[in-house]
Structure 1
Amino acid sequence: MAEQPEDVSPQEDPAGQPAAEPAGPVADPAADPVADPVAEPVAEPPAPRAVTEIKKPSTIGGIIYLVALAGALIGVVVAATGSWRSGVSWLALSLLVAAGARLALNDDDAGMLRVRRKGLDATILVVMAVSLLVLVASIPDQPG
């Protein structure tokens, strides 16, 4: 005959009150790395770089990226201050330079020009550049 399990009830303290259950999981002090004096010390994170520290590009693609960025910035400034057609043309030319560099460089040398696969990166840059050039060519001059 199988034995019936006894009715399990919470333990009572000597005053007859049920004992309080622990608030959360009981931590094993032996498993706590902070309490374990034999545990390996945790390496401190490296000190943050100063905000004014400038890191030079380590690849040719990083240099070309900065050149394309400078050309795009020139285009935005020219478009905002004067001839918008010239400014947008500068921007489109910068995108075409970036696309050509992305196609010419291998993935290891592409630096910040590398975001996705080579073909997709170049296609996106060329489509944006051609779209801007079509915009420049198709909008007629407005009478002043």
Structure 2
Amino acid sequence: MLYIAVLIATAVGIGIVWRGHDWRLGIRVVSGALAAAAALRLVLPQRDAGMLAVRPRLVDVFMLGSVAAALFILATNIPDQPV
């Protein structure tokens, strides 16, 4: 059931972006949720991973970690645009 915590954290991040607050913060929250999902998938046994277990363990960890890193790097490196 820990995947529900990941889902809630991701929804909070998307909500931050949607509400027009700091979009970088929202993307970082989503990135953190995905990184947590990767860590959970790495340590939890198959039967406890729930909806986090989609593919083989290492593929799931690699994909979740890669997307988390990419989102964090993009949110950090995209320059501010003039208004």
Coarse TM-score class (shorter-chain normalised)? over 0.9
Aligned residues: 82
2:17 aligned residue (61, 73, 79): 79
CA distance in 2, matches of 1:110, 1:134: 27
Q: How much is the aligned-residue C-alpha RMSD, in angstroms?
A: 0.8
Matched residues, percent identical? 35
Equivalent residue, structure 1, for 2:65? 126
Q: Name segments (4+ residues, structure 1) moved above 2 Å.
A: none
CA distance in 1, matches of 2:68, 2:31: 4
Equivalent residue, structure 1, for 2:46? 107
Normalized against structure 2, the TM-score is what? 0.94
CA distance in 1, matches of 2:48, 2:71: 28
User: What residue ranges of structure 2 are gaps of 5+ in the alignment?
Assistant: none
Higher percent of residues as helix: 2
Shift of 1:87: 0.4
Which of these two proteins has the greater Rg computed from alpha carbons? 1
CA distance in 2, matches of 1:94, 1:76: 11
2:3 aligned residue (65, 82, 92): 65
